[in-house]
Amino acid sequence: MRWVISHSQKYSFQENGYEIFTDFFPSFTLECPAGRDLSRANPDIRKLTHNKDLAAIAADLLGKQSLRFAFDQKGLAFFKNSFLESFSIQGLSGGVIITGDGAALFFHPDAPLPELLSTEPFAAFRSGLLIGYCQKPLYIHNPLDPYNALLKNLGYNFGDSLKESTHPTLIRL
């Protein structure tokens, strides 16, 4: 899969903080429970979350030279704050939400995601798979994040920089 991003799509992303691509993937069924870091145990999800073409489009839209995998999450019901305020990883660069019907919503970290996801045109993305990207990730305590302690299972403590082995670089332009 090789996508070319048009000037109008880049402009729209810069102006609005998000861009939707329809028919981005072939339709697929994502059979998994709600949760975070599902790709660590599910190779099918890992193929999506570690997709270099997806990361390359995000990097291009975000104007970043490189992006690392930060996390994945299915189930966004708790997501009531901004993207940057909702997770226990500092240094998030943006992300994408993909749906089973093949759509992808790329977003800037400052995009008003809770507001967008609460409107009908974005309903399909509420049950999608969110992939977060970062550059220099740091694990922080965040009481707003229901998965605040999850990275402790990988041996991290609050204040630790996240390692390449658990949060790999997906694209370097």
Q: Quick check: is 40 in a domain?
A: yes
The count of structural domains within the chain is: 1
Q: What is the pLDDT of residues 48-80, one digit of tens each?
A: 999 999 999 999 999 999 999 999 999 877 677
What is the reported pTM? Answer: 0.94
Q: Quick check: is 15 in a domain?
A: yes
Residue 115, both tokens: 């507001």
- At 2 the pLDDT is 58
Residue 2 φ then ψ, to 5°: -135, 115
Q: Quick check: is 1 in a domain?
A: no
- DSSP per-residue string spanning 12-49: HHHHHSEEEESS-S--------SEE-GGGT-HHHHHHH
Measured distance CA(19)–CA(40) in Å, rounded: 27
Q: Quick check: is 39 in a domain?
A: yes
Give the CATH number of the domain where residue 98 resides. 3.10.129.150
**Residues of the domain holding 97:** 7-76+92-135
Q: Quick check: is 144 in a domain?
A: no
Higher-pLDDT residue of 126 and 108 is 108
Sign of CA dihedral 50, 26, 96, 31: negative
Over pLDDT 90: what percentage of the chain? 66
